[in-house]
């Protein structure tokens, strides 16, 4: 808050600060007032930036929701089931060429697939089967291999899961489950 009124320069017209023109209030002569304006502007900036960020997040969520409602994601062949090794991991792309994904087959009857995109800042995670985890080298993020849930490091959300279907011996990717918890 500004200091008591008598520590300020008296404006040329002698009227109180509240009656001064906007330009004089925004560009005060006295340091305490100048600091006050700077803090107020900084707070305004923080609030506006937070609102813009929240709006951006909301926009992404709405876009994803609409896309899923429209069924825009393609059904795409991943690999013949016989070519997915039990206990192994297969890389594939879905839904676009540069969207890396990993297909796991922990046992004969189970298939799980995750997007490789780290939920912190989108680096590609790599599987470490011995440690039972996906590892993100960018900021030391760790995800559980079976569930894709974050277990250590900065990521807070699980890896997005790729929905799968097996038909006539072929594994298909049919959609993306975007997970928040
Ligand atoms: S981008 Fe993966 S931990 Fe930061």
Q: How remote is the CA of residue 102 from the centroid of ligand 1, in Å?
A: 17
Q: How remote is the CA of residue 140 from the centroid of ligand 1, in Å?
A: 7
148 burial level (CB within 10 Å; 0-12, 13-18, 19+): buried
Q: How remote is the CA of residue 124 from the centroid of ligand 1, in Å?
A: 8
Tokens of 163: 């929905």
Global confidence as pTM = 0.62
**Hey, how many other C-beta atoms are within 10 angstroms of the C-beta on 149?**
15
**Hey, how many other C-beta atoms are within 10 angstroms of the C-beta on 81?**
14
Ligand 1 in contact with 123 (CB < 6 A)? yes
State which residues of the chain have pLDDT below 50. Answer: none
Tokens of 165: 């279907």
The CA distance from 137 to 153, in Å, is: 10
pLDDT at position 172: 94
Domain residue extents for the chain = 17-70, 76-177
Domain 76-177 falls in which CATH fold? Rieske Iron-sulfur Protein (2.102.10)
Atom of ligand 1 nearest to the CA of 154: 3
């Amino acid at each position: 808050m500004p200091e008591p009124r008598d520590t300020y320069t008296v404006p040329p017209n002698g009227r109180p600060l509240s009656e001064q023109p906007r330009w004089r209030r925004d560009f005060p002569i006295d340091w305490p007032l100048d600091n006050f304006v700077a803090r107020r502007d900084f707070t305004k900036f923080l609030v506006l930036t937070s609102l813009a960020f929240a709006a951006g997040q909301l926009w992404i969520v709405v876009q994803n929701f609409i896309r899923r409602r429209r069924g825009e994601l393609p059904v795409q062949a991943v690999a013949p089931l016989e070519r997915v090794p039990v206990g192994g991991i297969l890389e594939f792309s879905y839904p676009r060429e540069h969207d890396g994904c990993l297909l796991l087959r922990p046992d004969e009857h189970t298939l799980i697939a995750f997007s490789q995109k780290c939920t912190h800042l989108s680096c590609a995670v790599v599987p470490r089967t011995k440690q039972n985890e996906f590892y993100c080298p960018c900021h030391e993020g760790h995800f559980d291999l079976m569930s894709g849930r974050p277990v250590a490091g900065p990521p807070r959300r699980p890896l997005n899961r790729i929905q799968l279907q097996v038909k006539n011996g072929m594994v298909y990717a049919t959609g993306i489950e975007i997970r928040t918890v």
